[in-house]
Structure 1
Amino acid sequence: MKRLIALALMGISTLAAADEVHVAQAQPVVEHYTYATDLDVAKVISVTPTADVCEVVPAQMIYEDHQGQRHILEYRIMGNGCSNG
């Protein structure tokens, strides 16, 4: 009976480890935008909201290219916290 429980626990831990590897492989690397970056955007998944500060801040866009590959693009944007008064 102890062997059966040990085998069951080993099987569960192996499945959990395999799932962690799959999740780690599925997360794309963050690419940093430059003016020379050649973008292939077929579908925008999400864009981070712009911060309410008066300075340049980083932002990210997650998108899919025409081959269905998911990308994370980090770029710099001016915050929304500036007033003209």
Structure 2
Amino acid sequence: MNTKAIYAACLFAALNICTLSARAESNVPAQTYTYGTHLDIQKVLSLSEDAQPTCGVVNAHMTYLDSTGHKQALNYRKLSDNCSNQN
């Protein structure tokens, strides 16, 4: 019975450590894109944009991994996805 409690406590501690490191990594400060900004993008993790029902310029956010494997975030402006069906 004691060994089960010890195993459970160790597992709980290990899961907490993993969760804390994941939370620390997800709070990466976002860089704002300007013309000429050098981007080192190895893999895009997520893309999102402000919701807008019409075609126009919106704020967008990209989370990505750089060539060293570090998580980075970028804020930028783009045409809304709603513009794709208009000429």
| TM-score, with length taken from structure 2 | 0.61
Percent of pairs with identical residues: 20
List runs of 5+ in structure 2 lacking aligned partners: none
Q: CA deviation at 1:46?
A: 4.6
1:20-75 C-alpha deviation (Å, 9 max, x unpaired)? 11212332514141537843415242562777741222222233445443211121
In structure 2, the CA distance between the partners of 1:78 and 1:12, relative to structure 1 (3 Å rule), is same
Larger C-alpha radius of gyration, 1 or 2? 1
Matched, 1:18 2:17: yes
CA RMSD of aligned residues (A): 3.1
List runs of 5+ in structure 1 lacking aligned partners: none
2:3 counterpart SS class: helix
Give the partner amino acid of 1:6.
Answer: A
* Cα distance in 2 between the residues matched to 1:18 and 1:12: 10
- Relative to its length, the structure with more helix (as a share) is 2
Number of residue pairs matched by the alignment: 83
| TM-score, with length taken from structure 1 | 0.62
